């Protein structure tokens, strides 16, 4: 079942989306394969810390987040991955590791890899390890208002 917070937000804003059920998978690449979605369209959400605040870095499933690039883009030498203990309580309606990339719903800044803007659609975990939401990228951008930076290569 998708995150209630996410589903209510999308429905309240009349955003068209497709919910795709898939076999249980935990990595973004496995999820993309299971849901028959190109890895470059499957976004993974990585929770980071900078300036003692939690934020989301969103990259394609087949990319690795490079903290040095993020540090440069944010002009901050202290950017690090957050631990599950640090962020789990922020996502009460999501399974750990299946957070949708909607920082605006969880009071977090969102930094999106520019490469995700190249596709017409974006797909992402819907709050569980067995469901993906797919929607128009432009709707995602309009609703989330992320900051675009070179997060991956």
62 pLDDT above the threshold of 60: yes
Number of helices followed by number of strands (H, E) in the chain: 5, 8
Q: How far is 54 from 35, CA to CA, in rounded Å?
A: 29
pLDDT value at position 36? 72
Q: Which of 54, 128, 125 is nearest to 90 (CA)?
A: 54
- Please report which helix (H) or strand (E) contains residue 12, including its range: helix 4-12
Q: How far is 1 from 14, CA to CA, in rounded Å?
A: 19
How many domains, in total, are found in the chain? 1
Domain interval for residue 140: 4-149
pLDDT digits (tens, 9 = 90+) for 84-129: 999 999 999 999 889 999 999 999 999 999 888 888 999 999 898 8
pLDDT digits (tens, 9 = 90+) for 82-96: 999 999 999 999 998
Q: Residue 43 is part of a domain; what is its CATH number? A: 3.90.960.10
Quick check: pTM over 0.85? yes
55 pLDDT above the threshold of 60: yes
């Amino acid at each position: 079942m998708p995150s209630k917070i996410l589903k209510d937000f999308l429905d309240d804003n009349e955003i068209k989306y497709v919910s795709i059920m898939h076999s249980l998978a935990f990595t973004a690449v496995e999820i993309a394969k299971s849901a028959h979605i190109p890895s470059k369209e499957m976004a993974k959400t990585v929770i980071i810390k900078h300036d003692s605040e939690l934020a989301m870095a969103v990259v394609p499933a087949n990319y690795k987040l490079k903290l040095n690039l993020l540090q440069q883009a944010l002009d901050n030498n202290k950017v690090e991955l957050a631990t599950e203990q640090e962020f789990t309580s922020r996502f009460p309606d999501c399974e750990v590791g299946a957070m949708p990339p909607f920082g605006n719903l969880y009071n977090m800044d969102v930094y999106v890899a520019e490469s995700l803007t190249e596709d017409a659609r974006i797909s992402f975990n819907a709050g569980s390890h067995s469901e993906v939401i797919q929607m128009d990228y432009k709707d995602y951008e309009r609703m989330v208002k992320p900051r675009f930076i070179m997060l991956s290569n």
